[in-house]
A = this chain, B = another copy of it.
Amino acid sequence: MQIAKVCGTVVSTQKEPSLQGVKFLLLQFVDVEGNLLADYEVAADSVGAGLDEWVLVSRGSAARQTPGGESRPLDALVIGIIDTVSVENLMLYRKRDQDR
């Protein structure tokens, strides 16, 4: 999985029928020092992630391992909202209390 920050949304009405109701988040990847990268991924969201939150994103066939999602043509999925990232016992990121 990669660490990414929710930075936007993508809306598509003319799409594969199986994708009705799927929310697409625009994620920018975060490097191991916490910097925002130019690389991005558009991922389906099923955990209710919001703008500016850090999330874990799975890619590939993992993105279809949700109840009822096995047959959707998705290759990226937000699998969790990140609370903390620790690197060598230092806290790189902590979700803000007001967001919890």
Binding site for B on A (CB under 8 A): 1-3, 7-16, 18-19, 24, 26, 28, 31-33, 38, 40-43, 46-48, 51, 56, 58-66, 71-77, 79-89, 92
Q: Which 3 A-B pairs have the closest CB atoms?
A: A15-B80, A12-B80, A8-B87
Query: Chain B residues with Cβ under 8 A from A82's Cβ?
Result: 10-12
Query: Chain B residues with Cβ under 8 A from A66's Cβ?
Result: 16, 18, 73
Given the contacts A32-B40, A42-B3, A65-B18, A75 and B88 also touching, CB distance less than 8 Å: no
Query: Chain B residues with Cβ under 8 A from A43's Cβ?
Result: 1
CA distance A32 to B42 in the complex (A): 10
Inter-chain contact A81/B3, CB cutoff 8 Å: no
